[in-house]
Amino acid sequence: MATVLRDLSYRYQWLYDGVSRLATLAVGGESQFRQLPMVGVPETPGLRVLDLCCGSGQTTAFWVARGATVTGLDASPRSLDRAKVNVPEADYVQGFAEEIPLPDNSFQVVHTSAALHEMTSDQLRQILQEALRVLEPGGMLTTVDFHRPDSTVTGRLLWPGLMTFMALFETETSWAFIDVDLVELCKSVGFRSAEQRCYAGGSVQVVQAIA
């Protein structure tokens, strides 16, 4: 599915950023959205963080601001070129999240924001397996993404907006993703534990899993 707007939003950063600002109003704005997956993560200077599917560095900047040592990985050279300009303090690697070209046990945190919904179910499993491999034992995977809204008033009010957003900007993988049980998937690939927190009538989920 999706429309030409999807390609345009990847081509023009101002459009991507504008849509992000609009889409994150439900959780109190973009800054709030970017920091949701950081709740519960120690603010240790030098914390080794891998920002998987980092895009143009939208959340990478927030990790850097917390004093983390960040590596951003993305498949898109154009996004990485932008990230290098937007957040020069981080290191960057081009590659696929399902085949991370980095050694085992390299990171204390693996983060991904607004990207897992772009993956097929096979990719999703491979990415979680790879996140587990590059995390040191006891490290944390922390991810924020869409989720199917619940039946509360807030969830019902937000559902039409989310559907419109997904129809205009997302691929069919996002429709399947909102029903995936990420907690169970994390546990099934070997994470010791996993927990989910939902926001904005269930339309946004944070999943944190311990390696």
Residue 211 Cβ vs ligand SAM, minimum distance, rounded to whole Å: 20
Kindly list the residues in this chain that would bind ligand SAM in the complex (CB under 6 A).
Answer: 53-55, 58-59, 74-76, 79, 96-98, 113-115, 118
- Tokens 């590059």 locate to 134
Which residue is associated with the tokens 């990230």? 83
With respect to ligand SAM, which residue has the nearer C-beta, 53 or 186?
Answer: 53
Measured from the CB atom, the residue of 101 and 152 that comes closer to ligand SAM is 101
* C-beta of 35 vs 113, nearer to ligand SAM: 113
For residue 72, the minimal CB distance to ligand SAM (Å) is 9
Nearest distance, CB of residue 114 and ligand SAM, angstroms: 4
| Largest Cα span, the chain | 46
Phi, psi for 170 (deg, rounded to 5): -115, 165
* Chain residue whose CB lies nearest ligand SAM: 55
Instruction: Give me the least distance between CB of 52 and ligand SAM, in Å please.
Output: 7
- The single-letter code of the amino acid at 27 is V
Residue number with CB closer to ligand SAM (65 or 75): 75
CB nearer to ligand SAM: give 62 or 191.
Answer: 62
From the CB of 24, what's the least distance to ligand SAM, in Å? Answer: 10
- Please say which residue, 78 or 192, places its beta carbon nearer to ligand SAM: 78
| Residue 29: CB minimum distance to ligand SAM, A | 14
